[in-house]
Structure 1
Amino acid sequence: MHGGRRLARRLGVGALAALVLAVGAGIPVYVLPATDPVPEHADAVLVLGPPTRARTELGRDLVEAGVADTLVISVWASDLAAAPGENDVVACDEPDMDVICFTADPGTTQGEARALADDARADHWGSVVVITQTPHIARARLLLGRCFDGELSMVSSGEPYTFGDWAYEYVYQTGAFVKALADPAC
C-alpha cells in the first residue's frame, strides 16, 4: 500500500513540476513578449481582430498622432453588416481618416496575415504598426512575418486580463502556436 501512495506522490510532484515549467516557459512568450516602440512613421496601422475598444482606440490615436495615414481593422462579417452607429467599437466609417476594414479569409491570424500582404502589395506599404493583445504578439509576429516582407512594429493594446483570461490564453495560444509551427506557409 505504501508503494501506491509513493507512486501517487511522485506522479503529483511530476505533474506539478510540468505545470510550473509550462507556465514558466510561457511567460516570455505570452506575458512578456517582445514588443516594439511605435515608430515615428509607418505606412499603416493594423488592428488585429477582434476589434476591441482598446485596440481600435489605440489605432485611431496613432493615426491621429500622425504615425500613419491609414488605419486597417480586421473585423467580423457581422461588424461590416452593422448599420452606421450601431457598432461603436469598429471605426470603419471614420470621417476624418483613411480606414480600411476587412474580414480575413480564413478568419484567423493567418488569414489576417494574408490580407495584410495583399494590401501591402497593392498600396506599396513597407512598414506597419500592428496592434493586438499581449498574449497574441509573438504568434502574430511569426505569422505576419511569413507573409509581409516589410517592417512590423508589434504593439500591445494593454487590455487587462483576469487569471481565467490568462489560463485560457495560455492554452489557446499554445495550441495555435503548434498549428502555426506545423504549417509554415503564409
Structure 2
Amino acid sequence: MDDESIITRARWARRGAFGILTIIALVAAVGLPLYVFPADPPAPAADLIYVIGPPTATRIADAESLRDQGIADEVLVSVPSSGPDSADELAYCWRAYVTCRTPEPFTTRGEAAMLQAYATDGDAVIVLTYTPHVLRTRFIFDACADADVTVIPVDERLNLSRWIYNYAYQSAAFAKAWVLGCADPPAGALP
C-alpha cells in the first residue's frame, strides 16, 4: 500500500469517527429535554396519587410527601405479582389509604388501563415515575386513560450507563407505544 492510500484511508476513518460522534452528540442533545429534563409541573390538588412500577423507595417517599402536603388522600401503587415489591411483601401496601394492584400486562399501557378502575373522566390523578420515563408515560396515559393525569418525575439517581440504556429503551418503547396506541398486542407478541 502506498503512502497516499494510507493517508486517504486515515482521513476517511477520521471523518467516519467524527460523523459517528456527531450523531451521538445530536441524539444526546435531542434527548435532553425529552428524557433528562422533561417538564416538571407543580403538583395540583388531585383525587389520587398513582405510583407506577416499580414501587421504588424514592417514588413511595414522593407519594407520601405529596399526601402529607394534602395533594391527595388516596395512593394507588402498581406492583409486580410476586417478589419483594409485591402487594403481599411491600409494607407500604398495608396502609389504609394505599391500594396496591398488579396491572395486566405489567407495562405502562397496562398501568394506564388499570387506572380506569380507580379514576374516571374528570378525576385528577398524579402519576409518579422516574425521569426518563415521563414523556412516554404522558403519551400513554393521555391516550389510554380517561382521568386528568399529571405526570411528575421522581428524581432517582442514574449512572451514565443507565442513562444510555434509557435513551435507547425509552426511544424504542415510545415508538412502540405510538404504533400500538391503546390496542392490545396481537396474540404471541411481546408486551
Coarse TM-score class (shorter-chain normalised): 0.7 to 0.9
Map Cα deviations across residues 49-85 of structure 1 (whole Å, 9 max, x no partner).
10000101111222233211210000011133645xx
Question: Residue 110 of structure 2 corresponds to which residue in structure 1?
Answer: 111
Q: Which residues of structure 2 form unaligned runs of 5+?
A: 184-191
Question: Residue 22 of structure 2 corresponds to which residue in structure 1?
Answer: 17
Q: Does 1:64 align with 2:65?
A: no
Question: Residue 94 of structure 1 corresponds to which residue in structure 2?
Answer: 95
**Residue identity matched to 2:34:** V
Aligned counterparts of 1:117 and 1:160: Cα–Cα separation in 2: 31
Q: TM-score, normalised by structure 2?
A: 0.85
Q: Considering Cα pairs closer than 8 Å and 6+ residues apart, tell me whether 1 or 2 has the greater RCO.
A: 1
Describe the SS at the equivalent of 2:24.
helix
Classify 1:118/1:125 alpha carbon distance in 2 versus 1 (closer, same or farther; 3 Å): farther
Question: Residue 28 of structure 1 corresponds to which residue in structure 2?
Answer: 33
Map Cα deviations across residues 112-158 of structure 1 (whole Å, 9 max, x no partner).
1111123213xx66110111101111110000111123322221211
Aligned counterparts of 1:4 and 1:183: Cα–Cα separation in 2: 45
Aligned 8 A contact 1:44 1:125 in 2: no
Aligned counterparts of 1:65 and 1:33: Cα–Cα separation in 2: 23
Describe the SS at the equivalent of 2:152.
strand
Q: TM-score, normalised by structure 1?
A: 0.87
**Residue identity matched to 1:108:** T
Larger radius of gyration: 2
Aligned counterparts of 1:147 and 1:23: Cα–Cα separation in 2: 29
Question: Residue 74 of structure 1 corresponds to which residue in structure 2?
Answer: 78
Identity of aligned residues (%): 36
Q: Which residues of structure 1 form unaligned runs of 5+?
A: none
Q: 1:6 aligns with which of 8, 11, 14?
A: 11
**Residue identity matched to 2:118:** D
Task: Count residues with an aligned counterpart.
Answer: 176
